Amino acid sequence: MRAFERLVKEMDGIAGELDEQVVMQLGSTDYEPKNCDYFRFMPRNDIEEFYAGARVVVCHAGGGTILTALEHNKPLVLVPRMKRYGEVFDDHQLEIARKMEAQGAAVVYDISKLKSAIGNVNTGLSKFSAGGNLAGALKEYLDQLEQQLRRV
């Protein structure tokens, strides 16, 4: 996975203004946040603790990450990685983000809008649950993509 400095830097700036703990998974991003706790990689079982304690999950628009957040009944703010920034090879995350947005997920295409999206997320919406509309829509979409790939 390529670095996602655009999200990490913006979230670090926002973290300095929030009255709550922010923890980020950096992956291969070189930038080291100054205003929050972070780690590069961690086994899935260990990451589960962070999901469980989160008020909201801000993440890329990767299927696995989204489903994990939904399994923990956490509201999402999705920031899709984009080809034009060299964050991915194609814009598949834009497709996933648009599908999730149609189901009510908060999606940030312009990184300068991230802070307001985090502030506006409604933590009480039942559609964010693992059995709700978002998870079902994502699973359906990913199944369709998998079927298309099998045909190629």
Task: Please tell me the pTM assigned to this model.
Answer: 0.82
- Tell me: pLDDT of 57 over 60: yes
pLDDT greater at residue 151 or residue 36: 36
Average pLDDT in the 93-101 region?
Answer: 93
Distance CA 121, CA 132 (A): 16
pLDDT in tens, 124-147: 443 444 455 666 767 776 777 666
The DSSP-derived string for 115-145 is HHHHHH--TT-GGGSTTSHHHHHHHHHHHHH
pLDDT in tens, 60-90: 999 989 999 988 988 899 999 999 999 999 9
Average pLDDT in the 9-33 region?
Answer: 96
Q: What domains lie within the chain, and their CATH numbers?
A: 5-151 (3.40.50.2000)
Share of the chain above pLDDT 70, in %: 82
